[in-house]
Chains A and B, each alone.
Chain A
Amino acid sequence: MEGTELGWWGVLIAVIGGAIRVSTPYLFVSLGETLTEKSGRVNLGLEGVLVMGAMSGYATAVLTGQPWLGVLVAGCAGALLSLVHALVCSLPRVNDIAVGIALFIFGTGLAFFLGKPFINPSAPRLPDLDLGWWSDSPHVQSALQISPLFLFGFALALFLAWALKNMRWGLVLRTVGDSSEAAQALGYNITLVRIAGTVTGGFLAGVGGSYLSLYFPGTWNEGLSSGQGLMAVALVIFARWDPVRCFYASLLFGGATALGPALQSAGVTANYYLYGAAPYFLTLAVLIYSASPQRALEGAPGEVSISR
């Protein structure tokens, strides 16, 4: 077996391949959360949205045989669930972070509740793009089997970074998120803009969920997501609300998540659970590193309570 001959290089290639493979849900959720937070609200319930997206996408693919339709349905389910968050938060005196916790509990519960019949049937997977054709090594080839969703997420990150600075809706979104008084004075409907930001963010998180169930790991069960949605929310702070930095941070987190399985396939089986917890430790570490007690964070939307 070549894997053992490659030794630590094998682990490195597996971590890089894993980073690409695992990072996509982080990327979509963090881009969605960036949009939501740029509008001035925090949606901590994207973990629930992610799981709901994974379930609905998988169920659609099982029932229709169309994985891409599953991706679309997952996005819509995520948008619908986030609409609940958006509407409840539009009521007076409602704390958006607390609503996020409720959505987290409700969304995962609903996904397990409705998704029970779909644990056994297998759904068609999303297709691969083989970008490793130039290499002879099967490890490199398998590491560079990439989902079109990953490339789409990359393009989306570039587009959002540009749009938030140059397009009309991007500027409106940021104005509402930075100062509701200023936006009000300019005549924008703050509630409506925030609802739009939250629902669009939920759509992206739902798409990220469909990647989990339809591409990698490519199954539906109750242990599918273990906090990726939550870590992606923390990652947005680390990325300073910048879509392109969200992309780099997602790769970093994907690599950390891939570390445990990569070590295990290289024969290091001890401390499996500790390596599995690497992404949580990493998230906490980057939060401690990037937070600051004195000043507001650079790039933080003025109306967002999470960075104060």
Chain B
Amino acid sequence: MNSLEAVAINAAAFVITLALFGVYVATLGHNPLDVYYVLWLGSFARQISVESTLTNAAPLMLTALCTAIPARAGLLVIGGEGALVVGGVATVLAGVLVAGAPFLLGVAVMSLAGALAGGLWIAFAGALRQYRGVNETISTLLLNYIAIAVMYHLITGPMRDWERVLKTSSWSIPDELRVGALPVIDVHWGLAAGVTVCLILYVVMRRTTFGFGVDVLGGNPRAAQMAGLPINRLVLICCFMGGAAAGLAGAFEVTAVHGFASESLVVGFGYAGILVAFLSRQNPAAIIFLAIILGGVAASGGLLQRRFDLPDATTQVLQGLLFMIVLASNAAYGRLNVFQPAAWRTA
């Protein structure tokens, strides 16, 4: 597979999406160039917008892994939103339990709790598929709704912080266990975690026997079975790793951003992560860059809406449009002669 080809096709998909969006805002009476400028201004032009972009990119990297890792084994998992929420709730529980623990230990326990909860959540869907034949796309989407409903149940009842009047939320984790910003730049440590996990999983998927087995399974399940690969185990581990990444995203949303679980966890990071995974063609290293680009789109959404008086669904429309075009662009792979050196000689 030609990575230059992937970059070129993705870039074309972005350009087509922006052009279509430009045509649309032009019909509303805005100058598309102004809109593009504001997109740039809100995402990468200034330090504050870069910080906001990276803050959005951190959870996107981790939720993208929730789709990308199982996808390498041939599963289409879209449960990142639910795994993030479950991970966030588990983090709050762990944080309250370990109150008074030393900082590093406390944060480690909370992150592990979040990752474990998210991992088991998606591994459950993987087990349903392997042992019962339940379609994993539908089950993970249902699990999203269930996770959100369970969280609302907990934060309005059993785990509610009744002292907070203005916002319905769970208990808060202890203040001394809140995770702060990275050195130099005002972005929380979740970014470092996201980049690290992406790189580790890149190595695991590309350079280990396990990763090779997963790629065989994803490429040809029959061949994997013939070769005697432990298919069920590979699928469950992939689902667990993906879910754990999304659960970790929830953990950092709690420890570094909000301090508690509330409706602020349900802002679509899971769904945008699916898009990042497909853009990256399920490659964990590419996820880092594409999450930053889509983080930029999310970061400039607010400015775009205020400046041009657009509805808040604008970012979602942009994401949906881009997703559709990226999937359609799959048909272009291998067809552009520029990327086929063999074709140069015969031409």
Contacts and interface: CB of A to CB of B under 8 A. Distances in A.
Interface of A: 44, 48, 84, 88, 91-95, 97-99, 101-103, 105-113, 116, 226-227, 230-231, 233-234, 237, 270-274, 276-277, 280-281, 283-284, 287-288, 291-294, 306-307
Given A274-B149, A281-B146, A287 B328 contact: no
B313 A95 contact: no
B138 A230 contact: yes
B76 interface: yes
B324 A103 contact: yes
Contacts, number: 144
B317 A113 contact: yes
B66 to A, nearest CB: 13
B321 interface: yes
A102 B327 contact: yes
Contacts of B320: 48, 102-103, 105-110
Contacts of B138: 44, 230, 233-234, 237, 287, 306
Contacts of B150: 273-274, 277
B76 A271 contact: no
A105 B313 contact: no
B264 to A, nearest CB: 17
A293 B317 contact: no
A115 to B, nearest CB: 8
Nearest to A84: B324
Top 8 nearest A-B pairs by Cβ distance? A106-B320, A109-B316, A277-B149, A112-B313, A102-B323, A91-B331, A273-B153, A293-B133
Interface residues of B, number: 45
A307 B131 contact: no
Given A287-B128, A291-B132, 18 more contacts: A84-B324, A91-B331, A93-B333, A94-B328, A101-B323, A106-B324, A108-B320, A111-B313, A112-B311, A227-B142, A234-B142, A271-B157, A272-B153, A274-B150, A277-B145, A277-B146, A293-B133, A307-B135
B134 interface: yes
B330 A94 contact: yes
B49 interface: no
Contact of B145 (A88, A226, A287, A307): A226
Interface in B247-291: 271, 274-275, 278
Contacts of B275: 105
A161 B327 CA distance: 34
Given A110-B317, A110-B320, A98 B76 contact: yes
B293 interface: no
B145 A98 contact: no
Given A102-B324, A276-B149, A287 B135 contact: yes
A280 B150 CA distance: 11
Contacts of A93: 330-331, 333
Interface string B93-117: 0000000000000000000000000
A273 B331 contact: no
A26 B313 CA distance: 25
B321 A106 contact: yes
Contacts of A276: 149
Given A273-B152, A291-B134, A94 B327 contact: yes
14 contacts: A93-B333, A97-B137, A98-B76, A102-B320, A105-B323, A108-B316, A111-B313, A113-B313, A273-B150, A277-B150, A283-B142, A287-B128, A291-B132, A291-B135
A101 to B, nearest CB: 6
A287 B134 contact: yes
B141 interface: yes
Given A274-B150, A291-B132, A94 B137 contact: no
A306 B135 contact: yes
Contacts of A84: 324
A49 to B, nearest CB: 13
A280 B133 contact: no
Given A88-B327, A102-B324, A109 B313 contact: yes
A227 B145 contact: yes
B318 to A, nearest CB: 8
A226 B145 CA distance: 8
B130 A293 contact: yes
Among B138, B143, B152, B317, find the residue whose CB has the most chain A CB atoms closer than 10 A: B138
Nearest to B312: A112
Contacts of B131: 293
B227 to A, nearest CB: 21
B53 interface: no
B95 to A, nearest CB: 22
